Every structure is written in structure tokens, then in C-alpha cells.
Amino acid sequence: MVKQVNKAERPFKVFVEPEDFKAYSDAGHVSIVQLPENSRGVAYARQLIVKHAIGHDDSWFWMLDDDIYSFAVKVEQGDIIKDDASLLKRVEYSEFEIHDWKNPAFPDNLAAVKLSHQNLMERQLANAQKALPLNTCVNICCMFNAKLITAIDYCLELSVLEDVEYCLQLLSKGRQTLRFLNYALQVPASKSNPGGCSEA
């Protein structure tokens, strides 16, 4: 995933547990943030990432899981073609103008956006769906509006469904989420790879 994000030409940091820090450092990664503790789960890591981004005055920031292995984009002809993490930059600066947020299709209280899973994008293409889904769960590859999430924390007591609970908090606070239809990612099936959710 780190090699993928390098293609996005975006500054990034890799958050790792203490037990993994040396391996990442020895591999030559320089933008590493060591989490304080091992084996605290997804919500713990996500919460520290959010606090780190807010503390560094990031207005919008991406949060990506480390098991994303490919990206895809739906082109104007309706075909789905394989892509790489450089599409993250295009999401920000081209069609959606994320930093100025000029697109009238997006609500002012939009707190987070996410990419679709490729299988969802394929179904939406088959059904000719065009409306951007609002208020769905954001996880795996999402971008947060820091100013709208400063007082909302992940529930550290949850070992599963932490992203669902977090999004429910956003909605209860009057925020909204959005899922893109024409940008997608692929990850392994849940609990099929070592670490993370498979150990929950």
C-alpha cells in the first residue's frame, strides 16, 4: 500500500504498532508514526490518526487501510478500468475540487467521503445509478473534513463495527457522509488476511 500511495504524490504518514516500527524503518520508510501500544484494534488506531491530523491543522485528510491492493475508475464510456492511488489526487483537485468545495451537489455539513468497493461500482453501473449515496458507512479509504469531526471520537470498546458506530455518531451530530460512484478500491475479503480485523 505504501508503494501505491507514493504514486498519489501526496504527503502521507504510515501509522504502525511498536512491534512493527523497526521493520518499517529498516525498509526505508521515513514518514512513520509509532502508535503508543500494540494490539489495541482498529478503533484505537483510527482515533490516533484523527487526532494527529487535527493537531497538524489538516483541513481534509485521507485515511487508508493498509490492505488496499488496487483502485479502479469508471470512465465516461461507462467502462471500469484499473487505476492506482494517483486517483486520490484527482478526487481532490479535478472533478470534485475538494479543497474549495465548490460542487453544489455536496452538502455544507459533509464530514467524510469514501471510495466505493469495485463490486458495488459494477452493480451501480449495471443499474444505471447516478445519484451519489449519502449517509453510508465510510471506511477503508475515506477523506475526512477535520473541522466537522473534532469533537467526535471512535468507540475504543468496540472490536467490530467501529466504523459503523463512528458514522452513526456523525449523523447524530447533523453531519453527512458521501460515497463516490466512479472511484473504487479492492481489498481482500473480510478476515481473509493476517492482522487487523482477522484478529478481532
Along the 200 residues of the chain, how does pLDDT read in single tens digits? 777 777 677 789 999 999 999 999 998 888 999 999 999 999 999 999 999 999 988 788 999 999 998 898 887 666 788 888 888 887 776 545 444 444 556 778 899 999 988 887 777 767 666 667 889 999 999 999 999 999 999 999 987 899 999 999 999 999 999 888 888 999 987 656 665 444 44
CB contact at 8 A, 96 and 179: no
Q: What is the pLDDT of residue 190?
A: 64
Residue 65 confidence (pLDDT): 94
Q: What pLDDT, on a 0 to 100 scale, did the predictor assign at position 100? A: 46
Q: Which residues contact 135 (CB under 8 A, 6 or more apart)?
A: 167, 171, 176, 177
CATH of 2-199, one of 3.40.605.10, 3.90.550.10, 3.10.530.10, 3.20.20.70: 3.90.550.10
> Is the separation of the CB atoms in 124 and 115 below 8 Å?
no
pLDDT number for residue 129: 64
Short-list 177, 8, 183, 176, CA closest to 95: 183
Q: What is the pLDDT of residue 74?
A: 82
Pairing, β 110-117 against β 141-145: antiparallel
**DSSP class of residue 133?**
P
- In the prediction, which pLDDT does 89 show? 81
pLDDT of residue 94: 54
